[in-house]
Structure 1
Amino acid sequence: MIRRYIANISTSIFQRAGAAVALLALTVGCSSTKPSNTAAASMPTESAVVAQPPTSVLAQNSKKTKKSFSVPSCQQNDSFTESINFAIQASNLVQSANSKEDWDEVAALWVQAVAWMQAVPPGNPRRAFAEKKVVEYMKNLVYSQQQAGAARSSSASTVSFSSDLLDEQLELYLSYVAAVGPPDVLIVGSSRALQGVDPKQLKQSLATNGSPGLKVFNFSVNGATAQVVDFQLRRLLKPEHLPQMIVWADGVRAFNSGRDDRTFNSIVDSEGSRLLATGVRPKLPSDRPNSTPQCFRFPQLCPDNIFRKAQTSVKKPVMGRQNANLITQFNLSRTGILPVANIASGGQNANPTTQFNSSGTGILPVAVAAKYLPLSTPARVAIRQVSTLADSIDSNGFMSMSAKYNPNTYYRERAYVSGRFDRDYEDFNLGGKQAKAFNSAVAFVKNRKIPLVFVNLPLTDDYLDPTRRSAEQQFRRRMQQLSQQKGFAFRDLSQRWPGRNDYFVDPSHLNRFGAIAVSRLLASDSSITWPRPKSRSTDG
Structure 2
Amino acid sequence: MKTVLPDRQKTIVQWVSQATGINTLGVKIRLQGNDLHILCEAIECPQRWQTLSDLLKALQQTDLEALKNSDGSEQPSIYQVFVYGRKKAVKRPEWCHRVYLNQLDRHLEQVNVALLLDAKRTQHTTGAIIVSNESLAKKGDPEAIARYLSETLSSLGIGVRVKVKNQDNNNNKNRLWILCKSSYSPDPSIIAEPVAQKLRHLKLAGYQDAVIVCHVQGEPKPDWMLRIDLTPTEVMLKDWARWGDVQAIASYLNEKLADKIKVTTSLNESTLHVFCTNVRSNGETAPRRGLCIKEVGACLNDIAPQGITAATIYGQVSTDAEPAWIDWLTLPASYHPALSIPTIELASNGDEPALVFLLERLLNSDLYWRLKTGGMRVLLLRKGDLMHVMCDAAVSPDRKQVTTQVVKLLRQLKMPGILGVRVYGRRAGNKEASWHYGVDFAARQRYVPEPAPEFAATSSYVRELLPPTDEPVLRQDLTSDEVQTFVKQAVQNWGISARKLLLATQLFKDKEDANSAPNGRAKSNASALVWATVGLLLTLQTDWVLNKFSQQPVPTLTTSQVPQTPNPNDVNASFTADTAPKENQAFNASAFTQTTGSEISRSPSGTATAILLAARTQSPTFNARQLDEQLALYRQRLQKNGGQPPDILIIGSSRALRGVDPVALSKALATQGYRNLDVFNFGINGATAQVVNFILRKVLEPSELPKLIIWADGARAFNSGREDTTFRSIAASPGYKQAIEKSIARGDTDTAQETKSKTKSNDQRKNSYQAANDWLNEKLGSLSGAYQNRNQLKAVLGAKLDALTGVDKNKASSNQINGKDAEEPVQSVDFDGFLPLSIRFDPSVYYQKHSKVSGSYDNDYKGFLLGGDQDLALQEILKFTQSQKISLVFANMPLTSEYLDPVRTQFEQLFQQYMIQTASERSHFVFRDLGLLFPQKNDFFSDPSHLNRYGAYEVSNKLAKDPMIPWINKK
User: Could you say which TM-score interval applies, normalised by the shorter chain?
Assistant: 0.5 to 0.7
Aligned to 2:860: 424
Is the 8 Å Cα contact of residues 711 and 889 (structure 2) preserved in structure 1? Answer: yes
Instruction: Give the counterpart of 1:172 among 633, 649, 652.
Output: 633
Aligned to 1:411: 847
Alignment of 1:85-100 (within 5 A): 96=559
Q: Taking structure 2 as the reference length, what is the TM-score of the superposition?
A: 0.30
SS in 2 for 1:104: coil
The whole-number CA distance in structure 1 between the counterparts of 2:576 and 2:963 is: 45
Q: Does 1:490 align with 2:927?
A: yes
Is the 8 Å Cα contact of residues 182 and 242 (structure 1) preserved in structure 2? Answer: yes
The whole-number CA distance in structure 1 between the counterparts of 2:608 and 2:683 is: 24
Shift in CA distance, 157/197, structure 1 to aligned 2, threshold 3 Å? same
Shift in CA distance, 104/280, structure 1 to aligned 2, threshold 3 Å? farther
Q: Does 1:103 align with 2:539?
A: no
Shift in CA distance, 151/524, structure 1 to aligned 2, threshold 3 Å? closer
Q: Does 1:454 align with 2:917?
A: no
Q: Does 1:469 align with 2:932?
A: no
Q: Does 1:524 align with 2:967?
A: no
Query: What are the superposed Cα offsets for residues 377-420 of structure 1, whole Å, 9 maximum, x if unpaired?
Result: xxxxx995564669610111100011111111110111111111
Q: Which amino acid aligns with 1:469?
A: T
The whole-number CA distance in structure 2 between the counterparts of 1:113 and 1:430 is: 44
Shift in CA distance, 146/439, structure 1 to aligned 2, threshold 3 Å? closer
The CA deviation at 1:533 is 3.2
The whole-number CA distance in structure 2 between the counterparts of 1:219 and 1:154 is: 19
Aligned to 2:794: none
Q: Taking structure 1 as the reference length, what is the TM-score of the superposition?
A: 0.54
SS in 2 for 1:234: helix
The whole-number CA distance in structure 2 between the counterparts of 1:114 and 1:155 is: 21
SS in 1 for 2:566: helix
Q: Which amino acid aligns with 1:274?
A: K
Shift in CA distance, 165/146, structure 1 to aligned 2, threshold 3 Å? closer
Q: Does 1:433 align with 2:869?
A: yes
SS in 2 for 1:219: strand
Q: Which amino acid aligns with 2:683?
A: S
Q: Which amino acid aligns with 2:945?
A: S
The CA deviation at 1:279 is 1.7
Q: Which amino acid aligns with 1:258?
A: G
The CA deviation at 1:204 is 0.5
SS in 2 for 1:264: helix
The CA deviation at 1:512 is 0.5
Is the 8 Å Cα contact of residues 623 and 730 (structure 2) preserved in structure 1? Answer: yes
Instruction: Give the counterpart of 1:481 among 900, 908, 917.
Output: 917
Q: Which amino acid aligns with 2:916?
A: Q
5+ unaligned residues in a row in structure 2: which ranges? 1-556, 578-603, 745-807, 818-825
Is the 8 Å Cα contact of residues 566 and 574 (structure 2) preserved in structure 1? Answer: no
The whole-number CA distance in structure 1 between the counterparts of 2:834 and 2:661 is: 6
Is the 8 Å Cα contact of residues 622 and 736 (structure 2) preserved in structure 1? Answer: yes
Q: Does 1:265 align with 2:728?
A: yes
Aligned to 1:302: none
Q: Which amino acid aligns with 2:887?
A: P
Alignment of 1:318-397 (within 5 A): 384-385=810-811, 387=814, 392-397=828-833
The CA deviation at 1:191 is 0.2
State which structure, 1 or 2, has the greater radius of gyration over its C-alpha atoms: 2
Query: What are the superposed Cα offsets for residues 86-139 of structure 1, whole Å, 9 maximum, x if unpaired?
Result: xxxxxxxx9626777x53279x9x979999xxxxxxxxxxxxxxxxxxxxxxxx
The whole-number CA distance in structure 1 between the counterparts of 2:574 and 2:710 is: 40
Q: Which amino acid aligns with 1:265?
A: R
Q: Which amino acid aligns with 2:946?
A: H
The whole-number CA distance in structure 2 between the counterparts of 1:417 and 1:164 is: 28
Shift in CA distance, 395/113, structure 1 to aligned 2, threshold 3 Å? closer
Aligned to 1:320: none
The CA deviation at 1:228 is 0.5
SS in 2 for 1:464: coil
The CA deviation at 1:226 is 0.5
Aligned to 2:707: 244
Aligned to 2:192: none
The CA deviation at 1:194 is 0.5
Shift in CA distance, 149/226, structure 1 to aligned 2, threshold 3 Å? closer
CA RMSD of aligned residues (A): 3.3
The whole-number CA distance in structure 1 between the counterparts of 2:609 and 2:696 is: 29
The CA deviation at 1:174 is 0.6
SS in 1 for 2:928: strand
Query: What are the superposed Cα offsets for residues 125-175 of structure 1, whole Å, 9 maximum, x if unpaired?
Result: xxxxxxxxxxxxxxxxx99x9877656798532511011111110100111
Aligned to 1:443: 879
Alignment of 1:28-177 (within 5 A): 96=559, 102-104=564-566, 155-157=616-618, 159-177=620-638
The whole-number CA distance in structure 2 between the counterparts of 1:212 and 1:171 is: 27
Query: What are the superposed Cα offsets for residues 222-273 of structure 1, whole Å, 9 maximum, x if unpaired?
Result: 0000111011111110111001100011100100000110000111111101
Aligned to 2:774: none
SS in 2 for 1:278: helix
Aligned to 1:349: none
Is the 8 Å Cα contact of residues 256 and 425 (structure 1) preserved in structure 2? Answer: yes
Shift in CA distance, 263/147, structure 1 to aligned 2, threshold 3 Å? closer
The CA deviation at 1:462 is 1.4
Is the 8 Å Cα contact of residues 103 and 147 (structure 1) preserved in structure 2? Answer: no
Is the 8 Å Cα contact of residues 926 and 964 (structure 2) preserved in structure 1? Answer: no
Aligned to 1:190: 653
Q: Does 1:506 align with 2:943?
A: yes
Query: What are the superposed Cα offsets for residues 10-63 of structure 1, whole Å, 9 maximum, x if unpaired?
Result: xxxxxxxxxxxxxxxxxxxxxxxxxxxxxxxxxxxxxxxxxxxxxxxxxxxxxx
SS in 1 for 2:650: strand
The CA deviation at 1:532 is 2.5
Shift in CA distance, 280/467, structure 1 to aligned 2, threshold 3 Å? same
The CA deviation at 1:466 is 1.3
Aligned to 1:30: none
Is the 8 Å Cα contact of residues 150 and 387 (structure 1) preserved in structure 2? Answer: no
Aligned to 1:233: 696
Shift in CA distance, 485/164, structure 1 to aligned 2, threshold 3 Å? same
The whole-number CA distance in structure 2 between the counterparts of 1:399 and 1:490 is: 24
The whole-number CA distance in structure 2 between the counterparts of 1:154 and 1:462 is: 41
Is the 8 Å Cα contact of residues 681 and 834 (structure 2) preserved in structure 1? Answer: yes
Shift in CA distance, 509/98, structure 1 to aligned 2, threshold 3 Å? same
The whole-number CA distance in structure 2 between the counterparts of 1:112 and 1:169 is: 18
Q: Which amino acid aligns with 1:421?
A: Y
Is the 8 Å Cα contact of residues 607 and 629 (structure 2) preserved in structure 1? Answer: no
SS in 2 for 1:273: helix
Higher relative contact order (CA 8 A, sep 6+): 1
The whole-number CA distance in structure 1 between the counterparts of 2:860 and 2:930 is: 20
The whole-number CA distance in structure 1 between the counterparts of 2:827 and 2:882 is: 34
Is the 8 Å Cα contact of residues 99 and 153 (structure 1) preserved in structure 2? Answer: no
SS in 2 for 1:246: strand
5+ unaligned residues in a row in structure 1: which ranges? 1-93, 116-141, 282-381, 535-540
Shift in CA distance, 415/451, structure 1 to aligned 2, threshold 3 Å? same
Q: Which amino acid aligns with 2:640?
A: A
Is the 8 Å Cα contact of residues 619 and 735 (structure 2) preserved in structure 1? Answer: no
